[in-house]
Amino acid sequence: MTKGRAKKRSRNSEAPCILRFCNNREGVTARVLWVDFSGKEKEYARLDELCYYNQDTYVNHPWRLRDAASGDLLAEYVGPTATITLQHDGSTHIEPGLHRPPLVEVSDPRWGTYRQRGEALGIPILAFDCVCQEAVETAAHIVLSMLADADGSIVESMVEAGAEVAIIGCNQVTTDLPMYRHLRGVDCENGGGDYDKATRGLGGNPGNPVTSCGEENLLMLPEDRYRYENILIHEFGHAVMDLGLHDKPLQESIVDAYQAAHASGRYDLSCYMMENESEYWAEGTQAWFDATVREDVTSGVNTRHKLQERDPKLAELMTLVYGDGDWRYPQTAPHKFAPCEESSERQHGQQAESSRSGAGAAMQRPMVQVVAAQHGKAAAAAVAAASWLQCHGA
């Protein structure tokens, strides 16, 4: 005999799946809720308007989306991998498999429209109109060069996970990007202040697959707080590990290599690279492509050659993931790195993602003066040398 309907709740399950929640509903922030084993809702994320969110779960685990303001139920799902979209017209669309949500273009009178501006191997490059096309092309070139010799299944996994690259305009802050809006005013864990004070780039991960980087870093402008390194290569390195190697044995191998490196005595354990396996991989990725001249954060491992000598195990993993091709960042960079001696003058104290910034001070907008000249790709180096860039529509 049963008393009413059985309560919906999660059951033990061995079958994993991924749910992608997309919020294309204007003015609505949704709470992403797991219905636990006792039937209680537990919040896993806040899904801001125009954001999407990937959740690893199991096929027998129910999930709900509720309006954060009213508490109204917007969607409920239990089952295999699917994309659950709150649509613009108020309906909810559920489709088996993972799908890229249609890009809803966001406009702002200060910066123009946020839209896809480029693409590399199926990975879209997004930016507002205020970002120079040279920065977009540079980002696409870097992604393409990093993955030129990578195993196809890694790229495939990244595309499937919804990997994107978004550029933070020189006169914008991190949370001006739609996918990072929900981080506005949120403190980073590492004492560097909120995300806008502490970051000009974040790595993509399954929860938020957007990798970001500042326009000024791509163009190597003197105002760049990270002028001794390329940040996209670091952040995209995180995305390669977290999206491209997700659930692959290579991800475990990185953890093993990190632990071995940590115990080896070959690194200064206080350096940023030794903080955890993620930074070990991301800093290692920068070294693999000679994309940094900093020595403080990596115990001096800032080139592929040095990495191969210092840490053959990590070099082997880099080769398995990226290949051992010829491209190095400085070959096609728009400008030379600032001499690394200068880097000791910077505030390197805290080197967590939040304060990799080094130059600590908050990015105030506008940080770069706007000049009028239109410039083509060929002139990028000259423009960087001239130390100004054009921000269309800014």
Name the site residues for Zn ion (rule: CB under 5 A). 279, 282, 353
The residue (of 82 and 282) whose beta carbon lies closer to Zn ion is 282
* Closest residue to bound Zn ion by CB: 282
Q: How many residues does the chain have?
A: 394
User: Which of 86, 88, 246 is closest to 153 using CA atoms?
Assistant: 246
Q: Which is nearer to Zn ion, 130 or 291 (CB)?
A: 291
Instruction: State the nearest-atom distance from the C-beta of 353 to Zn ion, in Å.
Output: 5
The separation between CA 100 and the C-alpha centre of its own chain, rounded to angstroms, equals: 16
Instruction: Decide whether 169 or 237 has the Cβ nearer to Zn ion.
Output: 237
Which residue matches tokens 């780039």? 201
CB of 199: closest distance to Zn ion in angstroms? Answer: 10
Which CB sits closer to Zn ion, 216 or 235? 235
Considering the complex, state which of residue 49 and residue 279 has its C-beta at the smaller distance from Zn ion.
Answer: 279
CA 203 – CA 12 distance, rounded (Å): 32
Shortest distance, position 208 Cβ to Zn ion, whole Å: 14
Pairing type for strands 210-214 and 164-168 reads parallel
Strand pairing report for 82-86 and 52-58: unpaired
- Cβ atoms of 148 and 389 within 8 Å: the answer is no
Q: How far is the CB of 49 from Zn ion (least distance, A)?
A: 27
Kindly state the smallest distance separating residue 284's Cβ from Zn ion, in Å: 11
Nearest Cα to 114, choosing from 97, 99, 131?
A: 131
Q: State in angstroms the smallest separation of the CB of 236 from Zn ion.
A: 10
Q: Which is nearer to Zn ion, 196 or 279 (CB)?
A: 279
Q: Which of 71, 88, 75 is nearest to 25 (CA)?
A: 88
For every residue of 210-265, DSSP letters joined together read: EEEEEHHHHTT-TT-TTTTB-HHHHHHHHHIIIIISTTSHHHHHHHHHHHHHHHHT
Closer residue to Zn ion, CB minimum distance, 134 or 279 = 279
Report the distance separating Cα 8 and Cα 225, nearest Å. 50
Nearest to 306 by CA among 317, 296, 295: 295
Shortest distance in whole angstroms from residue 356 CB to Zn ion: 7
